[in-house]
A and B are shown apart, each in its own frame.
Chain A
Amino acid sequence: MTSYLLETVKSKFPQHVLETHAFRGDETVMVKKEALPEVAAFLRDSLGFDFLMDLTAVDYLPREPRFELVCHFYSSRHNYRLRLKCPVEGNAPSVASLTPLWAGANWFEREVWDMFGIKFEGHPDLRRILMYDGFEGHPLRKDYPLKKRQPRIQHRD
């Protein structure tokens, strides 16, 4: 039963799925970056994953592709969970936004942009969310030092 979901996604998108695994009961599908919106739409519309529970990223420096975008989906109808990931390159990272599918992706994606500097194409309002305008760098990147000081920001009128 546990692999049913992974098999369904794999057989639906054989050319897009890079890897599937289930570790400690958490089912994970890794897809190509280009296929993310398509697979996510399939999960929502055909498999009943109505909740985008979480959207975040992980920095795997010095590996390339450097980032991974991680989405956690939940289906309230079937009480299933699924993790969908896609690799994102380290040089000018960008990925398609999920905001057309889930309105709740808006703030999650703003946070990922703020913390990791991954751009979301098609996002309506991609601004920093936790950091201030004028903050330099993206703090959750592994090459951002823990105790880095920021320059003083100029007084705004």
Chain B
Amino acid sequence: MTNPPTDQQKNWTLEKLEDGRMALNMGPSHPAMHGIVRILLTVDGERVSDADIEIGYLHRGFEKTCETVTYNQCIPYTDRLNYVSPFINNAGFALAVEKLMGIETPARCQYIRVIMSEISRITDHLTCIGANAMELSAFTVYFYLINAREALYRLGDSAAGGRVTPAYARVGGLTRDLPPDFKRDTAEAFKILKKNLDDADKLLTRNRIFYDRLRGTGHISKEDAVALSFTGPALRSTGVPYDVRKASPYLVYDRFDFEVPVGSEGDNYDRYLVRMEEIRQSVRIVEQALAQLPDGPVNHPGYDVILPPKAEVYGGIEALMAHFKLTFEGVKPPKGEIYQAVEGGNGELGFYIVSDGTGNPWRLRVRPPCFSLTGGLANMIKGGYLADIVATFGQINMIGGELER
């Protein structure tokens, strides 16, 4: 099929337009465009009068690929969606398939998923704030926060066996239980986190330069944010208290005491404050979850859901057959379609799965939270200064892997 008639080619040159404004390319390879995205700007002096955001540089065909593999084989691909909070993607996808199959995992598994999801949320926010501060030339903060992130990555590594791409969840359970020293290690990692976070807080929150760069820039109103399908910290900064963990608690989120911070202005500074507070709330959730962590199995008992223990595979025909069937054909959810939302680092991460009853999904759609955010970015930077794009773009926290799948 050829291009549609609506597919107009825009003539963007670096020369001055007829009315004296200038067309300017920001990206795709620009130091402040972490992830690859190109913003075609029309600037009137220092003011941005028009912006067209071009994405697609990191499209890998995630959804198409997943249609050809089994459900469990999709899990390593989900790591690479939002690669700074991989565990939320793992858990969200596993939850979606479990919802489709109508099964529930044991309590211990649900607690571990909550713990790992919250650790992932912290790493996501640390990266966002650290990178944002670095781009606004507060380089020290970046090292403080990345130091804390590294401690948390090591923690995730000790449980899942991978720093950035853990692939920890499986449909119906996890790859393994937590290591024996996990509670102690978490307490130590949180000590590092709290110290680094407090230092960053002191350096940034009441810093005149940082405040002036963030306050009032990248403003979006409540109505616009809702109409543009914003979710996550960007929506909450406008004062809408929507958080999937509170609105429709999945896993065991209803058992913890935590707050959902909201802003009032809908600007970059509020988004920064919301993220800082969310880190502290996530720490609270992890501490409560570790205190309540029940004993017991981590995996669903059904052999049609999760691989049986190796001892049984080698010792009995039933388990051997189950192992064979699961490896080659995968889990087989019934025919149907479901949508499962979880609260990702940037907002609502949704999985829409259509099953035709076979081992491969007929259609797997990911609702990436930063897709809507990046779609609304043009509204947030229009009318502002060129230099504020860096601050706004940083606070949008666009993650290419998730945006373009």
Measured CB to CB, the residues of A under 8 A from B are 23-24, 26, 28, 50-54, 56, 58-59, 70, 72, 76, 79, 81, 83, 102-104, 106-108, 111, 113, 115, 117, 119, 123, 125-134, 136-140, 144, 146
Q: Which residues of A contact B367 (CB under 8 A)?
A: 53-54, 56, 72
Q: Which 7 pairs show the lowest CB-CB distances between chains A and B?
A: A104-B229, A107-B375, A54-B367, A104-B228, A130-B56, A130-B59, A126-B6
Q: Which residues of B contact A134 (CB under 8 A)?
A: 3
Pair A131/B336 contact, Cβ less than 8 Å: no
Pair A104/B372 contact, Cβ less than 8 Å: yes
Q: Which residues of A contact B61 (CB under 8 A)?
A: 139
Taking CB as reference atom, which chain A residue is nearest B363? A58
Pair B1/A24 contact, Cβ less than 8 Å: no
Pair A51/B226 contact, Cβ less than 8 Å: yes
Known: A133-B7, A140-B64. A23 touches B338 (CB 8 A): yes
Known: A72-B367, A107-B372, A130-B56. A137 touches B352 (CB 8 A): no
| Distance of A102 Cα from B371 Cα, bound (Å) | 15
Pair B350/A138 contact, Cβ less than 8 Å: no
Known: A53-B348, A83-B339. A132 touches B229 (CB 8 A): no
Pair B64/A139 contact, Cβ less than 8 Å: yes
| Distance of A140 Cα from B366 Cα, bound (Å) | 13
CB of B248 within 8 Å of the partner chain: yes
Q: Which residues of B contact A139 (CB under 8 A)?
A: 61, 64
| Distance of A76 Cα from B142 Cα, bound (Å) | 35
Known: A56-B352, A58-B354, A104-B228. A130 touches B338 (CB 8 A): no
Is the interface on chain B under 10, 10 to 19, 20 to 34, or 35 or more residues?
35 or more
Other-chain contact of A24, B9, B99, B224, B247 (Cβ < 8 Å)? B99
| Distance of A81 Cα from B339 Cα, bound (Å) | 10
The count of A-to-B residue pairs whose CB atoms sit within 8 angstroms is: 114
| Distance of A123 Cα from B376 Cα, bound (Å) | 16
Q: Which residues 199-231 in B have Cβ within 8 Å of A in the complex?
A: 224, 226-231
Q: Which residues of B contact A123 (CB under 8 A)?
A: 6
| Distance of A40 Cα from B353 Cα, bound (Å) | 22
Other-chain contact of A56, B3, B64, B365 (Cβ < 8 Å)? B365
CB of B102 within 8 Å of the partner chain: yes
Taking CB as reference atom, which chain A residue is nearest B356? A60
CB of B242 within 8 Å of the partner chain: yes
Pair B363/A102 contact, Cβ less than 8 Å: no
CB of B137 within 8 Å of the partner chain: no
Pair A79/B248 contact, Cβ less than 8 Å: yes
| Distance of A108 Cα from B367 Cα, bound (Å) | 10
Q: Which residues of A contact B231 (CB under 8 A)?
A: 53
Q: Which residues of A contact B247 (CB under 8 A)?
A: 76, 79
| Distance of A137 Cα from B1 Cα, bound (Å) | 5
A-B contact pairs, 30 of them (CB 8 A): A24-B99, A24-B102, A26-B339, A53-B229, A53-B367, A54-B339, A54-B350, A54-B352, A70-B365, A72-B350, A72-B352, A72-B367, A83-B339, A102-B229, A103-B227, A104-B375, A107-B371, A107-B374, A108-B229, A115-B63, A128-B7, A130-B56, A131-B59, A133-B7, A138-B1, A139-B61, A139-B64, A140-B63, A146-B65, A146-B68
| Distance of A123 Cα from B5 Cα, bound (Å) | 13
Q: Which residues of A contact B65 (CB under 8 A)?
A: 146
Chain B positions 1 through 14: 1 when the CB is less than 8 Å from some CB of chain A, otherwise 0: 11110111100000
**Chain A nearest CB: distance from B399 CB in Å?**
15
| Distance of A134 Cα from B4 Cα, bound (Å) | 10
Taking CB as reference atom, which chain A residue is nearest B59? A130
Pair B59/A70 contact, Cβ less than 8 Å: no
**Chain B nearest CB: distance from A140 CB in Å?**
6
From A72, A117, A134, A144, residue with most partner B Cβ within 10 Å: A72
CB of B341 within 8 Å of the partner chain: yes
| Distance of A102 Cα from B223 Cα, bound (Å) | 11
